[in-house]
């Protein structure tokens, strides 16, 4: 029969090994979670930046379109409306 002098240190060593394994597993899981969170934050920031750039481009395009349609073209080289209508009837 194995005596307590051998069994107690053996149980202590097994407990230390198991504790080290559990702690190592928890530390590795925490590192992976932190890396995934950092990647998610970076992706969110990139998505926000892209959305802001798209919104800026949309607003600029709308402003240019509004400016283009604001006033009709006034040029002496353009034909008068009546002349254009007459040409279109031919």
Q: How far apart are CA 27 and CA 80, in angstroms?
A: 81
DSSP 8-state assignment for residue 74: -
- The per-residue pLDDT for range 67-85, each reduced to its tens digit, is 888 766 666 677 778 888 8
pLDDT beyond 70 at 2: no
Length of the chain, in residues: 90
Residue written as token pair 């702690």: 23
* pLDDT band, very low/low/confident/very high, at 1 (cuts 50, 70, 90): low
Kindly list the distances between the CA atom of residue 57 and the CA atoms of 43, 46, 60, 62, in Å, as whole numbers in the listed order: 21, 17, 5, 9
């Amino acid at each position: 029969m194995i005596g307590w002098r051998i069994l107690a240190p053996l149980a202590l060593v097994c407990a230390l090994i198991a504790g080290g394994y559990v702690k190592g597993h928890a530390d590795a899981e925490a590192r992976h979670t932190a890396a995934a969170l950092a990647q998610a934050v970076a992706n969110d920031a990139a998505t926000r930046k892209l959305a802001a750039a798209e919104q800026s481009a949309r607003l600029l395009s709308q402003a240019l379109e509004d400016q283009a349609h604001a006033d009709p073209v006034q040029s002496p080289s353009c034909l008068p409306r009546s002349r254009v209508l007459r040409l279109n009837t031919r």
